[in-house]
Structure 1
Amino acid sequence: MEAEVAVIIPAYNEEKRIVRTLTTLKEINPLYKIYVVDDGSTDATAEKVAKVKDLCLIKSMKNKGKGQALKTGIKAALASSDIIVFLDADLQESAGEVEKLIKPIVDNEADVTVAKFPPAKKKGGFGLVKKLARYGVYINTGKKLDTVLSGQRAFKKKVLENLTFNYEGYGVELGMTIDLLNKGYLIKEVEVNMFHNETGRDLQGFLHRGKQFFQILKVFLKKTK
């Protein structure tokens, strides 16, 4: 029997990119169950998603952060799915690479897969956020992973049934990764040709990375007490 795959997409103000992400997913496999959790968007994200057929749109009136959006999506998808995938809303055409994350799960080569992106095309920050996340995983688990912060992941159902999401915003990937490794689950990093909206070395980019760093640091400190 073919595995039932659910894709959960947390979305916040992604009106420019999310429709292409969704249509790409539906083109590669129309059997995927797609759950979009609109996290209190102030643009037309929800309205545009609502026009796409055969998916589930879950709307939040307030922005509660990525961790809560994923938790909402899991609650909706878990009962009827064998494999659950997290994807970002801004992948556009590169969302088709999702099958590379699903195959090792189907083949029982891993409990969880994490997408490893190609190098960024433009200069972003100075690597502090990524270094903090990698160190956070190593100091709490003794394991080394290159791709700690990737939001593109696939899970066996049993993994998510045994995982608690108590992390806010951008700290969710770090907290989740530490918990998964400490529970003994096998994580496989998978190289993909995905891309997403990159932040540069402008004020907006530094503010974004500053918010990331703060939220990841909160999880780091919580885990290393």
Structure 2
Amino acid sequence: MGKKVSVIIPAYNEEGRIGETVKASFKISGVEEVIVVDDGSTDNTYNEAVLAGAKVIKLSQNVGKGKAIEAGAREFTGDFVLLLDGDLGNSAVYAEKLLTPLFTGEADMVIARFGAPRKKGGFGLVKRLTRWGLKSFTGQVVEAVLSGQRAFTRESFLGLLPLAEGYALEFGMTVDALKKGYRIVEVAVPMTHRETGRDLKGFIHRGRQFADILKEIIRRKVGSK
């Protein structure tokens, strides 16, 4: 197997950050293609991504992160896949750390574990829900269940499709990976992205996260009976 890496970046209204993210992604060893899936953006995301050298898939309407990633999954050509968020900017280059456990055969999926947040966020309700849900389905614990920065072998990535919808995407992906027996490694990275604070916008965001993940847990619990 070679070491050709494809980067897939789902992006919605990431003007001002997506260009830097794409350029930084190309600096990662082994990266030969960066696919940006413009998820119905209403700003200049598409043009910025094209100018930065990405292959851009333009979706006519906003379909959500999971469906956007699935659109990218139909186009990538690499032996390994990096899923990155569009707002990482220059710090996207640190995603290279996620590839080492894959190259050495140590892992099937690698999750980026960010450092402590720079500003106060919520009260940990979403994190507690995801950890409880993961433990109840798999009996295992993964620290960074909500992290969207992940690396996969081609086979493990395709094996996780289709993806959960909404903010339950990363939770569902982690549950499925563990159920399939994938070896998961978490790697600390000095990446940075936009953080939600203790303001109305932040609480609305976390409220949607909580609702989507709870709905996914209920869906899986009912479906397993």
- Same-fold status (TM-score > 0.5): yes
Whether the 8 Å contact between 1:117 and 1:193 is mirrored in structure 2 is yes
Aligned residue type for 1:155: F
- Deviation digits for residues 85-125 of structure 1 (CA, Å, limit 9, x no counterpart): 10000111111111100111001010100000001010011
Q: What SS does the aligned partner of 2:74 have?
A: helix
Q: Is the Cα–Cα contact under 8 Å of residues 105 and 156 in structure 1 kept in the other structure? A: yes
Identity %: 47
Q: Which amino acid aligns with 1:114?
A: I
CA contact 1:8–1:34 (8 Å) conserved in 2: yes
| Structure 1 unmatched ranges of 5 or more | none
Q: Distance in 1 between matches of 2:27 and 2:159?
A: 32
The aligned residue for residue 26 of structure 1 is 26
CA distance in 1: counterparts of 2:30 and 2:148, whole angstroms: 22
In the alignment, the residues of structure 1 paired with residue 65 and residue 158 of structure 2 have an alpha-carbon distance, to the nearest angstrom, of: 19
User: Structure 2: which 5+ residue stretches go unaligned?
Assistant: none
Match of 1:213? Answer: 210
The 5 Å alignment of 1:35-184 reads: 35-53=35-53, 55-77=54-76, 80-184=77-181
Question: CA shift at 1:31, angstroms?
Answer: 4.0
Preserved CA contact (<8 Å) 1:165 1:172: no
The equivalent residue for 2:193 is: 196
The separation in 1 between residues aligned to 2:176 and 2:2, in whole angstroms, is 29
Instruction: State the superposition RMSD in angstroms.
Output: 1.3
TM-score by length of 2: 0.95
TM-score (norm: length of structure 1)? 0.95
Compute the displacement of 1:170 (Å).
1.1
Cα deviation, residue 32, structure 1: 2.8
| Alignment coverage as a number of residue pairs | 222
Q: Which residue of 2 aligns with 1:7?
A: 7
1:64: Cα distance to partner? 0.4
Instruction: Give the match for residue 17 of structure 2.
Output: 17
Give the secondary structure class of the aligned counterpart of 1:9.
strand
